[in-house]
Amino acid sequence: MTIFNLFRRSGQHAGQNNTLSEDGVDSRDNIPKYSESTISTPATTENSVVSRTESPTGSLESPSLQKPEIDLELEMVPMAPETHGRLGSWRGSMILLVTSGSQFLDNVFMTSSNMALASIQEEFGVSSTNLQWMISAYTLAFGGFLLLAGSLSDRYGRKMILCLGLFWLTIWTLAIGFGQSFIQLTIFRGIQGIGASLTVPSAIGIISSYFTGVDRTRGLSIYAASGTVGFCAGLIFGGFLTSSLGWRYLFYLIPIIPGCLGILGLIVLPKDREATKDRQRMDYLGAVLSTVGLILLQFVLSSGGRYGWGDPFIIVILVLAVGFLVGFVIYEKYISNPLMPLSLWTIPNFAGLWIAGFTCYGSYQNIIYYIVLMAQKVDGLSAGDTAIRFLPMGAIGFIVSLGTGKLLEYINAKYCLIAGLVLSVVAAVPSAATATLTENFWINTLATSLISISAVSFIFVTTSTTILTSVPVEVKSLCGGMLNTAFQIGSGVALAISAATTSAVDIQKGHGLAQQYATGLWCSTGFAGLGLVIGVFAVRRKGASPKDRLGGPVAV
């Protein structure tokens, strides 16, 4: 079954003297010079795909019918998106500010709360086991709703979903600050995570559809860089604010940022296209199956180590999670309006890049978990001192992200991917090798922090850019959600493997904290090594060159 048939607006040919604004809009009638739309007719939906070719003069020839080899066949050829946005224009800069600002905030919310955990535990008298729910509640909702959020963005409008997510974050972050019990804080954190999940796919979709060619690559690299800055800003802001004014001010002051970004987004973000009258119904059952399955899987991965992997409760939840996800895949195969078209997985390099993101981000989050603990519990640093020492990490991440975007303008994306995966493999080695030898942060933690942030910057920019230039505009947000789902699940899997290994190898034998952290870090190396092997063989150079990424996909 053909899912996407994209074509350029046939009423506007190269021979017409249309006047374009800086955003590629015809100034006479305010209509985009080129647009993409979906063909879905009984004559072409089941057995054929409409193919439109462009003559040397730029005009469109008559469509022809041909038998497809796969359900969704996409080629990397130049194609004009809905509007032509320039990164250097005032509006392009404002759009990038809103979208990258949302990525910045998602990482601030993730890391700043870590710095407030000790104060929250002291105020509410929470046990160490239950304290983790302040983090887990956010990641459960964030990872569980990403796929649904991506589909909603593509279906109902990226601008609407992004602004909704930003205002949602504003409200529920404030609610956390006013919470009067730990249960309230945990519930509000989970609801806050839903807002974060709404911002990620929509922001990625806006960048990848509004900008083209080199501007798209640079926009995605800036988006990735804002995440690394947000990670470090969260540590610093959370550490200093918690130790000075108190942890509640963390949730009183941060909402100012998403509130302002939401208002700015309503003004500057490109207008959502109006829904067509013949739009198919939303795949509600698929949405329920995928969301519940992902939330249950995230719960098992984040809680298995605390409850015990042999606990009947964890086993039942895991079986239910797998059942929901398998049921989702089977259901999507047989319906006409799937939430996640399975044909996306047949796009060249899509699966390989997804797995690369899964393993690299999992390894990265596992490393961060252990080196932060090492800095505080082995090296004896306070929260504020730890935050200061991680400043170089944020700077390096920002530089490498922007540099990767520049490199992708000249070299094949596979080479950047392999470079990132190799760095992922070696990132944990310095800390793992020196953890038991010294209690000096600059020796046993700094090198690993800089290598790991460089690795994840390479991988994030490369996977995002390559995947989002090989799918139709109608599913860019969905694919952004799928890629970030890989990141979230990978993080949970890596931490679960490390926790189980550390428990068996060190904790049960009474080994010290430094030895436990070293074992967890060696697990990161193994996890990243798996990704490197898969990346080498599953990702091809074909379709990943700079020339391929200058345009976009078109169905043929």
Q: Reduced to 3 states, what is the DSSP secondary structure of residue 328?
A: helix
Tokens of 389: 């020492």
Sign of CA dihedral 68, 71, 77, 79: positive
| Residue 20, SS3 per DSSP | strand
**Distance, CA of 316 to CA of 323 (rounded, Å):** 10
CA distances in angstroms from 314 to 134, 159, 183, 186, 302, listed in the order given: 20, 39, 21, 20, 11
Q: What is the pLDDT of residue 265?
A: 93
Answer positive or negative: Cα dihedral of 528, 534, 537, 538. negative
CA distance 524 to 518: 10
Strands 64-66 and 49-51: antiparallel
Nearest to 110 by CA among 484, 526, 380, 382: 484
Q: CA–CA separation, 402 vs 454, rounded Å?
A: 11
The contacts of residue 260 (CB under 8 Å, 6+ apart) are none
Give the total residue count for the chain: 556
> Quick one: 281 exposed, middle or buried, by C-beta within 10 A (0-12, 13-18, 19+)?
exposed
Specify burial of residue 62 (Cβ count, 10 A radius: 0-12, 13-18, 19+).
Answer: exposed
Reduce the DSSP state of residue 50 to 3 states and report it.
strand
Residues 329, 335 contacting (CB under 8 angstroms): no
Q: Any idea which residue has 């030895």 for tokens? A: 515
pLDDT one digit per residue (tens) for the chain, 556 residues:
433 343 333 333 333 443 344 444 433 333 333 333 333 333 333 333 333 444 443 434 444 434 334 344 333 333 334 455 677 788 889 999 999 999 898 888 877 887 787 788 888 887 766 777 787 788 788 888 888 888 888 888 889 999 999 999 999 999 999 989 899 998 999 899 899 989 988 998 898 888 877 888 788 888 878 887 887 788 788 878 887 888 898 899 989 999 999 999 999 998 876 654 445 677 788 888 888 888 888 788 777 767 777 788 888 999 999 999 999 999 888 887 787 888 888 887 888 888 888 898 889 888 988 888 888 888 888 777 877 888 888 888 888 888 888 888 888 888 888 999 999 999 999 999 988 887 888 888 889 999 999 998 888 888 888 877 767 767 777 888 888 888 878 887 888 788 888 878 887 788 888 888 899 899 999 999 999 998 888 888 776 677 765 554 433 2
Residue 472 contacts residue 456 (beta carbons within 8 Å) = no
Q: How far is CA 470 from CA 212, 248, 332, 487, in A?
A: 13, 44, 21, 19
Contact status, residue 262 vs residue 202, Cβ threshold 8 Å = no
Taking a C-beta distance cutoff of 8 angstroms, is the pair 432, 521 a contact? yes
Assessment of whether the complete model's pTM goes beyond 0.75: no
Whole-number Å distance between alpha carbons of 226 and 220: 10
The angle formed by the CA atoms of residues 217, 144 and 96, to the nearest 5 degrees, is 25
Q: How many helices (H) and strands (E) does the chain have?
A: 21, 6
Angle between helices 133-156 and 90-124 (to 10 degrees): 150
Q: Are 363 and 494 in contact (CB under 8 A)?
A: yes
Question: Which H or E run contains 553?
Answer: strand 552-555
Q: Which residue has the tokens 């910057």?
A: 457
